[in-house]
Chains A and B, each alone.
Chain A
C-alpha cells in the first residue's frame, strides 16, 4: 500500500508541484495551505507522514508540530525550511520531528524519509 502523506506549505505554487511529483511516485498525497488546516486534517485522518514548511504565517511549524504530537504522538513529521541552522534542527528533533530537510529539497531524500516514516508506523501498529 502506498504511503499516505500530508503536505503543508503556504506557498501554493510549491505545494501543487510537490504534491504532483510525490503522487507520480505512487504516494497518496493530501495538501494543506496552513498549519491550522493541517491540524484539522491530522485530527480527522491518519497519515504515515506530514511534510511541513517550518515558516508559515500565523502558526509556524514548531507550534504546529507540538499540536500534532499532542493529538497523534506517533505521527512522523518532516520539516522543510529555507535555512537549517543547527539549533533549529536540534529544537525540531527535541520536539519529535523525524527530520528537517533544507529547501530546495532533494526529492529522493524526501521519499526515503517518507518510506522511513511509513516503516516506523507499520512497526508501531504491529
Chain B
C-alpha cells in the first residue's frame, strides 16, 4: 500500500479536480444560455433595423431569462467558494449541516447525471465539529458516491444526519440496490485512511440497506 499522506493527497486532489471540472461545466452551461439570449437580442435588433418592431414583452422575458442565469451562476460560485475555503485550515470547527449542504450542492450535478434523487434531513440546530474540513467533505462525498452506486432501480438516496451522545451520525438510507458484493467494496484503502484520519467509523448494512458514518466531535 502507498504511504498514507500520498494517498490522502491523491484522493484529495482527485476530489478537488472532480468538483472543479463539474463546476466549470455548469458555468459553461450558464454562459451558453446567456450567450443565446444575447444572440437573440442581436437578431431582434437586426430585424428592427429592417422595420420589424421590437416586442417589449419578449425583451422583458429575455431580461428575466438572463437574470435567472445570473442568479444560478451566483449560487454555483458561492458554493464553490465555500468548498474552496474548506482547504484554508487543516483543522477547524465547522457546522455539520453547513458542511453536508456544501457537499450536496457541489456534487448535485453528479446525482442529476445519474438520475438519482437525494433527500436529506439535517439537524435544525448547529452541531459543531472540530475536524479537517476538506477531508470530511471528501469522506462524505465518497460515502454519497458509494450510496448512489447502491441506489438500484429506485434511484433514490436519503441522507439523515443527527447528533449522538458521543458525536454525530450520518446515515445514507434506502440503498435499494445494495448487495453483499457491493457492500464488500466499501471502504476501500483510500476511504479507510480518511476514516482513520478523521477518527470516524463506517458500516455498510444489508439489513436495513444503509451506510452509517459515525464521527466524533473532536479528533
Report A's interface with B, CB cutoff 8 A.
Answer: 11, 13-14, 17-18, 20-21, 24, 55-58, 60, 80-83, 102-105, 107
Residue among B28, B40, B43 making CB contact with A82, cutoff 8 Å: B28
B65: A residues at CB distance < 8 A: 13, 17
Total number of B residues with any Cβ neighbor in A under 8 Å: 24
Assess the B68–A13 pair: CB atoms within 8 A: yes
- Most A Cβ at <10 Å: residue of B28, B33, B112, B113: B33
Instruction: Indicate whether B17 reaches chain A with its CB closer than 8 angstroms.
Output: no
Q: Which residues of B contact A (CB under 8 A)?
A: 21, 24-29, 31-37, 39-40, 43, 65, 68-69, 112-115
Q: Is B113's CB under 8 angstroms from A57's CB?
A: yes
A6 to B172, CA, bound (A): 40
- Most chain B CB inside 10 Å of its own CB: which residue of A11, A13, A56, A107: A13
Residues of chain B lying within 8 A (CB to CB) of residue A24: 43
Shortest C-beta distance, A51 to chain B (Å), equals 12
Give A57 to B148 CA distance when docked, in angstroms.
14
Taking a contact as CB atoms closer than 8 A, the residue among B36, B68, B113, B115 that contacts A21 in the complex is B36
B40 to chain A minimum Cβ distance, whole angstroms, is 6
- Min Cβ gap B187→A in Å is 28
Do the beta carbons of A21 and B29 come within 8 Å of each other?
Answer: no
Q: Is the CB of A18 within 8 A of B36?
A: yes
A83–B28 contact, CB under 8 A?
yes
Chain B at the A interface: SS class: helix
> In the complex, how many angstroms separate the beta carbon of B118 from the nearest chain A beta carbon?
13
Alpha-carbon distance between A62 and B4 when the two chains are bound, in angstroms: 37
- B25 engages A83 (CB within 8 Å): yes
**A21/B40 in contact, CB under 8 A:** yes
CB distance from B36 to the nearest CB of A (A): 4
Do A57 and B114 touch across chains, with their CB atoms under 8 A apart? yes
- Cα–Cα distance between A104 and B33 once the two chains are bound (Å): 8
Q: Are the CB atoms of B25 and A55 closer together than 8 Å?
A: yes
Pair A103/B29 contact, Cβ less than 8 Å: yes
Cβ distance B23 to chain A, nearest Cβ, rounded Å: 10
Chain A: which residue is nearest B28 at the CB level?
A: A82
Cβ A82 vs Cβ B25 within 8 A: yes
Q: Pick from A11, A17, A20, A58: contact of B29, CB below 8 A.
A: A11
Q: Is the CB of A83 within 8 A of B36?
A: no
List 16 interface pairs A-B (beta carbons < 8 Å), by A numbering.
A11-B29, A11-B33, A14-B32, A14-B33, A17-B37, A21-B36, A21-B39, A21-B40, A21-B43, A57-B114, A58-B113, A80-B32, A82-B26, A82-B32, A83-B25, A103-B32
In whole Å, how far is A84's beta carbon from the nearest beta carbon of chain B? 10
A20 to B115, CA, bound (A): 28
Cα A82 to Cα B39 in complex, Å, equals: 18
A82 contacts B29, C-beta separation under 8 Å: yes
Cα–Cα distance between A8 and B44 once the two chains are bound (Å): 24
Say yes or no: A107-B39 contact (C-beta < 8 A), given A13-B33, A13-B69, A57-B112.
Answer: yes
